[in-house]
Structures are given as C-alpha cells and as structure tokens.
Structure 1
Amino acid sequence: MSAPWPVKLTFRACAQELAADWDDGKSGRASYRTLRLESPSAEVQGHGRGPKPPPPIVPDDIRVLKAEPVGRYALRLFFSDGHSSGLYTWGILRTLTVGD
C-alpha cells in the first residue's frame, strides 16, 4: 500500500493553521506554530548525530507567508520569522496534521 497522499491543503490565516485532507479519508490540522517548531530543517532538528538543539523561540502569532511545492513529494514553507529551510514531505505533514 502506498503512503497517503494529500488531496487538499488549506492554509487558514485567520485560524493560524494548516488543514489537510488525505486520500484515505482522514483529515486534520496543525497550527502554524507547531509547523514552525517541528520544522524538518537541520537548524531545528540538529545536524548529524549530535543532540537535538533547544526548540526555537517562536512567536504566538507566527504566520506562513508562502508555500512552494518541491517536486511531487514536499512543500517548503516560508514563515514570518524568516525561517524557510525545512522541506515538509507528505509523510511529515501527515504526521503533524493527523498524527499517524
């Protein structure tokens, strides 16, 4: 069985969240703050085998300014604090929005 595929991704600025619908019928949400805190970038997750760095300081009113597709497998999110180096694969977005 193939991994779930996003059917619809909706960036809801007023609610400061990403809503996602998946091709297996599941749906969920992740706040912009969670997306920023869980960025898959090396800056947030750490480089190599060393310990994970402390979480970034993220303002409560963080916004996603833009999202760009990366091939057919991920999104690059551009946040209002200038962070844009993480690639959010469909698997990562699935985990952040649905939890499985």
Structure 2
Amino acid sequence: MARTATPQPTALTVHQATRVLEIGFDDGARFRIPFELLRVYSPSAEVQGHGPGQEVLQTGKREVGITAIEQVGHYAVQPSFSDGHDTGIFTWDYLYKLGAEQAALWQQYLDRLSEAGLERDAPMQGQAGGACGHHH
C-alpha cells in the first residue's frame, strides 16, 4: 500500500490548563503545540492577509485559550479562540508542520516581533472596524 502524503491524527487533546494542543499522528509523531503558536500562525485571511507580505503580526496572545474545536470534514479542525478568532481552518498537514517546526516558527515569530519593534505581549493594534488593520 502506498503511504498517503498526510499523516492522519490518532489523538487530539486540548489542554486548557497548560494551553497546548496535543496531537498524535499515525506515523508515531506526537506534538504539543501551544495555543499561542496556533493563534499566531492561524491560516485565516485575518492573520495571513491576502498575499505575501500582508501577514498581520499577532501580539498579546500568550494567554489565549481555545474555547471549542470543531472537526472540518476529514482533513482539518477549526478552533475557536478565547479572543474571538475562529476563522482559521487547520489542516492535518498544517498542524503537523506547526508541530514539527515549532522551534523554528517560534524563532521566526520572535524575529518578526523585534523587526516590527513590538512586544510579544503588546495588545493588538487596529482591530476595531476592519479585518485589515492598516497602520497610520
């Protein structure tokens, strides 16, 4: 049998107290992905923008929770975060990537923060009114 490209999850647990999503895959990999990382790298347009370079840098998400998580078909989950964000559809592929590359992704996030001169815990700017926050 040919191996399908995407490992399928065998277990998915939301740990509210420690704020990590624990996910096990059928290739034996197990990841504990912090909610903050999930939130910061949400695949939604609100975070990713509508093209390269339009990503909206997320801040102040250290304490973010996941209030609900819904399965989307057989390929993804859609978490609802405690800050009201719920438009990110996380495919198994994407969750696997977040888990496998989380150290590099954290570093990338911290680098982007320092480039932007932002604190990790700064409140989000320009959220009111429009989904696209343009800075003045």
Judge same fold: TM > 0.5, yes or no: yes
2:24 is matched with 21
Q: Which blocks of at least 5 consecutive residues in structure 2 are unaligned?
A: 103-136
TM-score between the two structures when normalised by the length of structure 2: 0.68
1:61 aligned to which of 58, 63, 87: 63
2:36 counterpart SS class: helix
Per chain length, whose mean CA-contact separation is higher, i.e. which structure has more relative contact order (CA < 8 Å, sep 6+)? Answer: 1
Quick one: distance in 1 between partners of 2:94 and 2:84? 21
> 1:29·1:98 contact (CA, 8 Å) conserved in 2?
no
2:14 is matched with 11
Larger relative strand fraction:
1
The number of aligned residues is 99
Quick one: distance in 2 between partners of 1:53 and 1:24? 32
CA-based RMSD: 1.5
Larger relative helix fraction:
2
Q: Which runs of 4+ in 1 moved over 3 A?
A: none
> 1:37·1:58 contact (CA, 8 Å) conserved in 2?
no
Quick one: distance in 2 between partners of 1:29 and 1:39? 16
Give the fraction of aligned pairs with identical amino acids, expressed as a percent.
Answer: 35
TM-score between the two structures when normalised by the length of structure 1: 0.91
Quick one: distance in 1 between partners of 2:52 and 2:34? 28
User: How far apart are 1:60 and its partner, in Å?
Assistant: 1.7
2:77 aligned to which of 68, 75, 78: 75
**Rg larger for:** 2
